[in-house]
Amino acid sequence: MKDTRNKILLAVDGSDQALEAVRYVSQVLPHQRTKVVLFHVKIEAPESFLDLGKTKEFGAKATAVRAWMAGRESVMKKFLDKAQKILVNAGFSSNAVTVKAQSKKKGIARDILRESLKDFGAVVVGRTGTSKVKDFVIGSVANKLVGKLHHLPVVVVEGRPSPKKILVAFDGSEGALMAVDCADSLLVDPDCQVALRHIIRPLDIEKIEPDELFALKDEEEWLETMKREIDPAMEEAKDRMINAGFTSSRVTTKIISGKRSRAKALVEEAKDGGYGTIVMGRRGLSAVQEFFMGRVTTKVLHMADNMAVWIVS
């Protein structure tokens, strides 16, 4: 009988943030319908370092390198054991949680990308890792995965997100509907609260010259038109989520207007409502919209503290 459970690639590096990503998966994904692979890319000292032991002057350094490698291996084993226990104690069956550790081949991000091609449903990673030299906004591995991994949803976990409350960014595009379908297939839980949110930015008519081209009532009429156009799509998205198994009373829709930054508006809405997960589509309504949607996604990733951001392709 074919295993129909969703398979999640959870990339870990032994860091505190990686452990928070494990906790997030344990709390958010449905245990009976999910398999988790804890994937670790081992960083090993180059073989040339071991040649230090061939000389008396550098023999001690070769010993130190071997000790570091053994220590790192021991620390990572304890981490993986702890990660497995977190998942099993949360309700995952022991055969639904596996570990795969391999030596670095092409690079950490590229090795994760290659592994993700093996019939996974999503890739989960912490926003920052163990490196002492961190990217000033987002961890380099997470950043590379977001930029290069387009065939699966990428989940970037920052801090300790609160579970059971999901905000879906919705603009009526194909990408937004894919985000809804992703939540339906991977996150569905009758106990979850789901917020479908659409952002309409102001036209700022008062800044347009000559001002006789537009009146303030034109912006008001435009806003009402935009709301009428998006309403049916939002109701369809809500129906999809209810049909997938979310509780009707726990799925809400809301149109937010007057916000100049879509990204800031989404993050503020999530913070104010206590939503720990933001789900976004990568693709917009057009090539131009896709470019701007990419910018929105990047900004949300940078601002979403103590949240998990799902980027759906």
Q: Are residues 42 and 149 in the same domain?
A: yes
Q: What integer pLDDT is reported at residue 57 of this predicted model? A: 62
With cut-offs at 50, 70 and 90, classify the pLDDT of residue 3. Answer: low
Q: Are residues 186 and 283 in the same domain?
A: yes
State how far the Cα of 35 lies from the Cα of 122, in Å rounded to an integer.
11
Q: Are residues 27 and 110 in the same domain?
A: yes
Query: Any idea how long the chain is?
Result: 313
Q: What integer pLDDT is reported at residue 205 of this predicted model? A: 54
219 belongs to a structural domain: yes
With cut-offs at 50, 70 and 90, classify the pLDDT of residue 298. Answer: confident
Q: What are φ and ψ of residue 31, in 5° steps?
A: -65, -40
| pLDDT tens digits, 270-292 | 999 999 999 998 765 444 444 44
Which of 157, 184, 216 is where one domain is finished? 157
269 belongs to a structural domain: yes
Which of 157, 185, 210 is where one domain is finished? 157
Residue 80, domain extent:
6-157
1 belongs to a structural domain: no
Instruction: Return the percent helix, strand and coil in the chain, to nearest 5.
Output: 50, 20, 30
Q: Are residues 152 and 95 in the same domain?
A: yes
147 is written with which tokens?
Answer: 């930029």
Give the number of domains in the chain.
Answer: 2
| pLDDT tens digits, 70-100 | 678 889 999 999 999 999 999 999 999 999 9
| pLDDT tens digits, 225-245 | 999 999 999 999 999 999 999
| Cβ count within 10 A of residue 14 | 17
**Contact yes or no for 118/270 (Cβ under 8 A):** no
Q: Are residues 304 and 246 in the same domain?
A: yes
186 belongs to a structural domain: yes
CATH number for the domain including 181?
Answer: 3.40.50.620
For residue 228, what are the contacts with CB-CB under 8 A and spacing of at least 6?
A: none
Q: Are residues 307 and 214 in the same domain?
A: yes
pLDDT at residue 115 is higher than 70: yes
Strands (E) located in 164-307: 165-169, 193-200, 251-257, 277-281
* H or E segment to which residue 35 belongs: strand 34-42
